[in-house]
Structure 1
Amino acid sequence: EVPDWVLVPGGNLGNVSAIAKGFFQMRELGLIDRVPRLVCCQAAKNNPLYLAYQRAKAAGRPLAEGDFEPITAGDTLASAIRIGAPVSISKAVRALGASNVVVEQATDAELADAAARADRTGMFNCPHTGVALACLEKLVARGEIKKDERVIVISTAHGLKFTEFKAAYHGARMPFDAKYANRPLELGADPKDVLAGIHRAIDAMDVGCN
């Protein structure tokens, strides 16, 4: 079953270009009867496609390559998409300009909070997936994505590749307030110390068992 939306983190734009092309080819082959709406999700300091999309939107026309201008890449927690001049811009514009695309952006605070919020469900998200999750939250809040629609968020890496990102977020070492921080317990490398620490944490919680 074809989803209603697919959200993809975008840096060099190869992933979103290939995904768009794949859906178009599947429709041509008769494997699907429609193409889902694609959302290219960019880090706010590395957002040349988002800026191009806004120019096209303001002009009331589809995205075109003439809307694109490279920018100087800025520092971001989503380091793998820290790209101001994506190499696949031509492919991306051709693919996305032919579809009902949305391009959204997320700040470092937004992507980190979104990743941590999703982690509470048992996942362990990388910052780049956090960009896409933050954009999902924005589109839902604006009512563009409806609650009954099927949505896929592409995860491009695992959080274990970005342990410092996780440690800094939960250890209050970010330059912003971490909404979903879960402060780590620093314990000795001894099973008894670990067990005692767990019991202290449980005792400090109001779990409503009495």
Structure 2
Amino acid sequence: MCKELGLVDRISRLVCAQAANANPLYLYYKSGWKDFKANTTASAIQIGDPVLIDRVVYALKNCDGIVEEATEELMDAMAQADSTGMFICLHTLVALTALKKLRDSGVIGKTDRTVVVSMAHGLKFTKSKIDYHSKEIKHMACRMANLPENVRADFRSVMDVLKKYLLSKAPKY
């Protein structure tokens, strides 16, 4: 409607992202919108015939939309994003992982402007972060793990660990 009213000159392209273990919309998209099945333990999308699925499909079709899935590489993406100070939630990781896949494949170009909606904070999912960095997730390489270090709960001990870490990262001349 905004385009018809002359408020915008083009419609943004919508990308939906789903985790591979809960991806009925992705599978529907890949089937050419022919076969929708919601067989998943993810209770929020466990409805066999979601009330708004027609609206979602309509929106995706009308903006040349894409649906992408994220597999367990999202935990490596979590560590990479967290290393920048983002400390994001697992839901946002699905979106970031899909964005990276689409960027790497050239679907989203180097100069394309993108927006990723962050839905929660990483503090809601500390157990998964601790398990990842402790390399305690079965069948996962945890390639970007930053192994935890136990530190006494006093200022000097924390500063000693930080100093040791920073010196190990300093350039060698």
**How many pairs were matched up?**
170
Query: Structure 1, residues 186-205: CA drift from partner, whole Å, max 9, x if none?
Result: 111122222222233345x1
Instruction: Calculate percent identity across the aligned residue pairs.
Output: 44
Task: Determine helix, strand or coil for the equivalent of 2:73.
Answer: helix
Q: Which of the residues 11, 15, 21 maps onto 1:39?
A: 15
CA contact (8 A) 1:48 1:84 kept: no
CA deviations 1:40-94 (Å, max 9, x no partner) are 00000100001100110xxxxxx4xx531221326xxxxxx86333553232122
Alignment of 1:1-210 (within 5 A): 25-56=1-32, 63=33, 67-73=35-41, 83-85=45-47, 86-107=50-71, 109-175=72-138, 176-203=140-167, 205-210=168-173
Rounded Cα–Cα distance in structure 1 between residues aligned with 2:70 and 2:163: 38
The verdict on how the C-alpha distance between 1:181 and 1:82 changes in structure 2, with shifts beyond 3 A counting, is: farther
Q: In structure 2, do the counterparts of structure 1 residues 194 and 52 end up closer, same or farther at CA, with 3 Å as the change threshold?
A: same
- Cα distance between partner residues in 2 of 1:29 and 1:111: 39
Q: Tell me, in whole angstroms, the C-alpha distance in 2 between the residues paired with 1:144 and 1:55.
A: 19
Larger RCO, structure (CA 8 Å, separation 6 or more): 1
Contact 1:139 1:145 (C-alpha < 8 Å) held by counterparts:
yes
Letter of the structure 1 residue corresponding to residue 27 of structure 2: L
3-state DSSP of counterpart to 2:161: helix
State the SS of the aligned residue for 2:69: strand
CA RMSD of superposed structures (Å): 2.1
The TM-score normalised by the length of structure 2 is 0.86
Structure 1 pair 159–206 and aligned structure 2 pair: CA distance change class (3 A): closer
Decide whether aligned partners of structure 1 residues 178 and 89 sit closer, same or farther in structure 2, where only a CA change above 3 A counts: same
